[in-house]
C-alpha cells in the first residue's frame, strides 16, 4: 500500500497514523513516540504572532468560503478584474491506495486570491460547476500564480474541465518556486541563488515571449510525490538548498514571517472547515500574490521581468 503526499518519517504522518488507529496496518511508520501524547482540538488553534496572518493582511470580511454556484460566479467576476491571481488546492494529506494505477486523491478545495480578497472554493459541493472557473484559468490577461504546481494542475484538471478533453487547462501560469530559484539572493536573507538552477524546472509549455505587463499594471503514489508535496512547505533538512525553496522559507525571505503549517495535515473534506483550516487554506493562495509583488519591489524590474518571462507557462494542457 502506498501513503501518498507524505512519507513514513514525516511527523504529521506519524501523528495521523497513530490517531487514526492504523499503526498495525502501517508498520513502516514508527508511532512509538506518539504514545501518551495529548492532542489539542484543531478548532481551538490560536493564531501565532510569529507567523503570517491573513486576517491582518486583508481582514476577516475579505476571506470567503464558496459553496454555491452563485458565490462561485461572483468569485470569478471579482478575480477576472485583477491582473494577478494566486491559487492552490488541498486534498486529504494521506491517501491510501491498493495499486499504483489507482486514482489519486480527489481535490477537496481550490483556493483563489487577489490582493484584496481570498476565496476557498468547496470542490466537494461544487464538483459539477468547476467549468465556471474556466474563463479565469484560461484567460491570457490574468496571470495565475501557483507554487510547485505539477500536483495542483493534476488535481484540478478534472474539476476545471468537467472531465472533457480540452486544448488547455490553464494559461499564463507562473510557478513562484521556479521564479525564486532564478532570482538572485537577497542580501541578508536565506533566499536562493539564481545560479543554482540554470537547467531545472522547465515549464510544461514555457514561452519566453509571455508578457509580465499584467503584474506591472497593479504594482508598477511514491517517494517522488512525497518529496514533491513536502517541497511546497519547505520541511527539509536545515541548511539544504531544498529547505530554502519551500513556500514557508520564501515567505519569510520576502515578507519577514513564515507560514503557520499546523493545519497542513487536516482532513480537507470535513465540513464545516474550522476557522484555522479556512485561514490556512486561503493564505496559501494569498501569500503567493504578496510574494509576487514583494519580489517585484525588491529586485530590479528588468531582472524580475526577464525571470518572469522565463517562468511563464503560456498554455498548460
Label residues 103-132 b or e (16+ Cβ within 10 Å = b): ebbebbbbbbbbbebbbbbbbeebeebbeb
User: So what's the pLDDT on residue 220?
Assistant: 44
Q: CA-to-CA distance for 50 and 132, rounded, in angstroms?
A: 37
User: So what's the pLDDT on residue 292?
Assistant: 99
43 strand-pairing partners: none
Query: What number is the average pLDDT over the span 9-28?
Result: 77
Q: Is residue 5 very low, low, confident or very high in pLDDT (cuts 50, 70, 90)?
A: low
Instruction: Give tens-digit pLDDT for 240-297.
Output: 444 568 999 999 999 999 999 999 888 999 999 999 999 999 999 999 999 999 999 9
Query: What number is the average pLDDT over the span 16-31?
Result: 78
What domains, with CATH codes, occur in the chain? 1-37 (no CATH), 52-316 (3.30.420.10)
Instruction: Give tens-digit pLDDT for 62-94.
Output: 999 999 999 999 999 999 999 999 999 999 865
Query: What number is the average pLDDT over the span 156-183?
Result: 92
Of the candidates 84, 85, 80, which has an alpha carbon nearest to the alpha carbon of residue 214?
84
Instruction: Give tens-digit pLDDT for 254-265.
Output: 999 999 999 988
Label residues 181-220 b or e (16+ Cβ within 10 Å = b): bbbeeeeeeebbeeeebeeebebbebeeebbbebbbeeee
Amino acid at each position: 500500500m502506498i501513503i501518498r503526499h507524505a512519507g513514513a518519517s514525516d511527523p504529521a504522518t506519524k501523528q495521523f497514523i497513530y490517531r487514526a488507529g492504523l499503526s498495525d496496518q502501517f508498520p513502516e511508520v514508527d508511532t512509538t513516540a506518539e504514545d501518551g501524547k495529548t492532542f489539542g482540538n484543531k478548532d481551538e488553534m490560536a493564531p501565532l504572532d510569529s507567523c503570517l496572518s491573513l486576517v491582518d493582511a486583508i481582514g476577516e470580511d475579505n476571506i470567503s468560503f464558496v459553496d454555491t454556484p452563485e458565490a462561485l460566479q461572483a468569485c470569478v467576476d471579482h478575480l477576472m478584474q485583477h491582473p494577478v491571481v494566486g491559487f492552490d488546492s488541498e486534498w486529504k494529506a494521506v491517501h491510501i491506495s491498493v495499486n499504483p494505477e489507482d486514482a489519486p486523491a480527489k481535490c477537496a478545495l481550490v483556493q483563489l486570491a487577489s490582493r484584496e480578497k481570498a476565496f476557498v472554493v468547496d470542490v466537494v459541493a461544487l464538483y459539477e460547476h468547476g467549468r465556471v472557473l474556466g474563463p479565469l484559468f484560461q484567460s491570457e490577461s490574468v496571470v495565475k500564480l501557483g507554487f510547485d504546481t505539477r500536483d495542483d494542475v493534476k488535481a484540478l484538471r478534472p474539476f476545471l474541465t468537467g472531465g472533457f478533453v480540452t486544448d488547455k487547462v490553464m494559461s499564463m501560469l507562473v510557478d513562484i518556486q521556479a521564479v525564486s530559484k532564478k532570482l538572485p539572493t537577497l542580501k541578508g536573507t536565506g533566499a536562493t541563488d539564481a545560479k543554482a538552477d540554470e537547467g531545472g524546472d522547465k515549464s510544461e509549455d514555457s514561452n519566453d515571449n509571455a508578457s509580465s505587463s499584467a503584474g506591472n499594471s497593479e504594482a508598477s503514489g511514491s517517494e517522488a510525490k512525497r518529496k514533491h508535496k513536502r517541497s511546497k512547505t519547505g520541511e527539509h533538512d536545515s541548511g539544504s538548498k531544498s529547505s530554502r525553496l519551500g513556500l514557508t522559507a520564501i515567505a519569510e525571505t520576502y515578507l519577514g514571517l513564515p507560514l503557520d503549517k499546523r493545519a497542513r495535515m487536516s482532513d480537507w473534506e470535513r465540513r464545516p472547515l474550522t476557522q484555522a483550516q479556512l485561514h490556512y487554506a486561503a493564505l496559501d493562495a494569498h501569500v503567493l500574490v504578496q510574494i509576487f509583488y514583494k519580489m517585484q519591489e525588491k529586485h530590479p524590474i528588468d531582472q524580475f521581468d526577464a525571470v518572469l518571462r522565463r517562468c511563464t507557462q503560456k498554455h498548460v494542457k
